Amino acid sequence: MISNKITLIKNNITKTALQFNRIPQDINLLAVSKTRPVEDIIAAINIGQNSFGESYLQDAIPKIQVLSNYKLEWHFIGALQSNKTRLIAENFDWVQSLDNLKHAKRLNIQRPINLPPLNICIQINISTESQKSGILLDEVINLATEIAMLPNLRLRGLMALPIACQNFAQQRLPFRTLHKAYQNLQNLGLVLDTLSMGMTNDMEAAIAEGSTLVRIGTGIFGERKKG
Ligand SMILES: *Cc1c(COP(=O)(O)O)cnc(C)c1O
């Protein structure tokens, strides 16, 4: 059951946080509801979950509209394309997958003025050999500085999605690198509070390395259909 699984994940977050000398409340849970039906999301809402992650815009918009009477926070975590930025700026509260200035400028212009600034995480390509999304680490200072100047965006932090691996010590390495980049930006004066890292299979390693937001899909809703 979805409610039981959320409870299990939360207990695991607490246990892992304490094990690594962290404050459990500093780690937030994003329920990744991409491809899931509205009923599954309502089951999660009923146990107190209020933030959800979606990757596919056409799949997400109807769900956001149907659930608009609930007070929810929607995070876009999928690949961005120029022709999608307007609907994202109009319907989401967060974009975690921003990786270039062109899309940042479009989101900034397209964000409706009656809404608060769009919360942003810059996606970092932390396992360079395997991925196409995200910017390289040595470009992050430039992009972060530019985004921080856009009035309708609010830069909150960094996000990454390392290649899957099962070994705990190895899982920790890219997360450690990301945490250092995050602290580096903070040291440069940017006010950031979100280090979005960790999914179902590497959540503990991400918490050990400083994650403040874990993005959990399978662990809450079960296996996704391959598509
Ligand atoms: C699908 C997805 C997740 C959730 O992955 P699970 O392994 O199902 O927990 C997290 N982050 C991003 C960016 C995703 O696309």
What's the mean per-residue pLDDT of the chain?
96
Which atom belonging to ligand 1 lies closest to the Cα atom of 203?
Answer: 9
Domains: count for the chain: 1
Alpha carbon of 55 to ligand 1 centroid (Å) = 9
The predicted model gives 90-110 an average pLDDT of 98
Give the number of the atom of ligand 1 that is nearest the alpha carbon of residue 77. 13
d(CA 11, CA 8): 5
Helix, strand, or coil here: 28? Answer: strand
Give the global pTM: 0.97
Q: Answer yes or no: is pLDDT of 193 > 70.
A: yes
Pair 88, 53: CB distance under 8 Å: no
Tell me the per-residue pLDDT of 147-170, one tens digit each, with 9 for 90 and over: 999 999 999 999 999 988 989 999
Residue 227 lies in a domain: no
Q: Tokens standing for 126?
A: 């932390």
Name the residue with the closest Cα to ligand 1, atom 11.
215
The answer to whether residue 227 scores a pLDDT higher than 60 is no
- With the most atoms of ligand 1 within 8 angstroms of its CB, the residue from 8, 74, 76, 199 to mutate is 199
Query: Residue 30: inside a domain, yes or no?
Result: yes
In a domain, 160, yes or no: yes
Q: What one-character DSSP code corresponds to residue 70? A: S
Token pair for residue 221?
């809703």
Neighbours of 214 (CB within 10 A): 25
Query: Is 29 part of a structural domain of the chain?
Result: yes
The whole-number pLDDT of residue 127 equals: 83
Burial of 155 (0-12, 13-18, 19+ CB in 10 A): buried
Quick one: pLDDT at residue 224? 86
CB within 8 Å of 15: residues ≥ 6 apart: none
| CATH number of domain containing 110 | 3.20.20.10
Rounded to the nearest angstrom, the distance between the alpha carbon of 222 and the centre of ligand 1 is: 12
Say what the pLDDT of residue 226 is: 64
- Tens of pLDDT, residues 41-77: 999 999 999 999 999 999 999 999 999 999 999 999 9
Phi, psi of 75 (to 5 degrees): -110, 125
The answer to whether residue 226 sits within a structural domain is: no
Q: Does 7 map to a domain?
A: yes
Q: Which residue range forms the structural domain that includes residue 177?
A: 2-221
Q: Which two tokens stand for residue 153?
A: 């965006």
- Look at residue 147 and tell me if it is in a domain: yes
70 in a structural domain: yes
pLDDT value of position 133: 87
* CA separation for the pair 58, 78 (Å, rounded): 12
Within 10 angstroms of residue 55's Cβ, the number of other Cβ atoms is 17
3-state secondary structure of 78: coil
At 131, is the pLDDT very low, low, confident or very high (cuts 50, 70, 90)? low
pLDDT at 80 > cutoff 60: yes
